[in-house]
Amino acid sequence: MKFPDLHATLFWVLASATALSAISVVLTQNIVRSAVWLLFSLAGTAGIFFLVGADFVAATQLIVYVGGTLVLVIFGVMLTAQGPFISMKTSAAEWAFSVVAGLVFLGVLLVTVTQGKWVGHFAAVSPAESTSAVALGESLLGIADATPPAQLIGTAAPDQPLPRTRMSYLLPFEIVSVHLLVVLIGAAYLARAKRRRGAAA
């Protein structure tokens, strides 16, 4: 096992950066700095995606989240930030309660994670050989053969493996496209300059 060393190092670096940035998002009071920590957290997540061979998802994460959504968020902050509102204080009691509740929640999740028995094998995929983009594209085009032929695991009768149903995702893709169009119109409608409001009222 020579390759996993590099993988493990990269994982620890990226994971600690991502997690620490996420914690900083919560702890920072200044909303713009929060957004910066969110940037690092999202970029770290993209790095994690690259690490597990999902390069197309990682690039999408960067271009949509970091280049689009986060810029939009910062834009919103700049438009709505007026001196005193940039940092809105949360009271100590609220903090204490949230932290306790959050730690309990984290504990429950971690116990669930460690109790789960996943049947998993490790396989390294180098970015050049990763064909996830091709498989994704074919699957979104409605080609069911794009999903790999595999057998279901963790079924009730492990000695009689079942072939999995091969799916394609053309319909969800179209629905998401229409959804985005609706959102485009909706956001433009909501955020438009209201000139008639004063005259009507």
Partner 1 sequence: MPSLGLLIAIVATILCLTFVAVSAIFFIWLERKVAGRIQDRLGPTRVGGRFGWLQTIADGIKLLVKEDIIPANADHFLFRLGPYIAFCGAFLAFVALPFGNGIVAVNMNVAVFYMLAVMSTEVFGVILAGYGSGSKWSLFGAMREAAQVVSYEVPMAICVIVPIIVAGSMNLVTIGQQQGGCFVNWQMFHDPFSFLAFWTYFTCAVASCKRAPFDLAEAESELVAGFHTEYSGLRWSFFFMAEYGAMFAVSGIAILLFAGGWHTGFLPFDPSVALKGELGSVTVGETNPWVIDFGWLLGNLINVIVFILKGWVLVFVMMWVRWTLPRLRIDQVMMACIKYLLPISCALLLGVSLWQLALASFEWLHYFSWALGGLCFFAVLGVAWKLFTTDQPPPDTGMGALLQQGGPLMAELAKK
Partner 2 sequence: MTPITLNHYLALGAVLFVCGVLCMATKRNAIGVLMGVELVLNGANINFVAFAYYLRDPQGNAVFLVEGQVFALFVIVLAAAEAAIALAIVLNFYNNHLTVDVDTAEELKG
Give the residues lining the site for partner 1 (CB under 8 A): 2-3, 5-6, 30, 32-33, 36, 39, 43, 55-56, 58-60, 62-63, 66-68, 70-72, 74-75, 78, 127-133
Per rule CB under 8 A, is residue 127 in the interface with partner 2? no
Measured distance CA(28)–CA(15) in Å, rounded: 20
Query: 139 near 173, Cβ under 8 Å?
Result: no
Among partner 2, partner 1, none, what does residue 92 contact (CB within 5–8 Å per kind)?
none
Is the distance from CB of 85 to CB of 77 less than 8 angstroms? no
Other CB atoms within a 10 A radius of the CB of residue 63 amount to 11
Residues 57-86 that bind partner 2 (CB under 8 A): 57, 60-61, 64-65, 68-69, 72-73, 75-77, 79-80, 82, 85
**Site residues for partner 2, window 8-37 (CB under 8 A)?**
8-9, 11, 15, 18-19, 22-23, 25-26, 31, 34-35
Q: Residues binding partner 2: what is the number (CB under 8 A)?
A: 93
**Secondary structure of residue 189 in the 3-state scheme:** helix
Alpha-carbon distance 78 to 83, whole Å? 11
Q: How far is the CB of 9 from partner 1 (least distance, A)?
A: 8
Q: Which of 27, 28, 31 is nearest to 82 (CA)?
A: 31
